[in-house]
Amino acid sequence: MTAAKTISMSFRVSPKFKALLEAAAARENRSFTNMLETLLFAHCDKHGIAEPERAKTVKAKGTTE
């Protein structure tokens, strides 16, 4: 199985959010991205939130994924 492609995201946060993210990531020796993924996945597991099904996309030659 091949690894899923990653996408880039950009958003603004408060200085408090950034400082807490830095502290949490440093404590667990994680990157910011890995810390956010870990926290989000744990939150979704705890609250029964599942990944939405993706709609099939149409490729340039008319085939679907």
User: Where are the domains positioned within the chain?
Assistant: 15-46
Q: How far apart are CA 48 and CA 42, in angstroms?
A: 10
Instruction: Name the pTM for this structure.
Output: 0.70
Query: Which one-letter amino acid corresponds to residue 24?
Result: A
Model pLDDT, residue 54: 74
Instruction: Report, as an integer, the average pLDDT of 41-55.
Output: 91
Model pLDDT, residue 58: 54
**What digits encode the pLDDT tens for the residues 5-44?**
889 999 999 999 999 999 999 999 999 999 999 999 999 9
Q: How far apart are CA 6 and CA 42, in angstroms?
A: 20
Model pLDDT, residue 29: 98
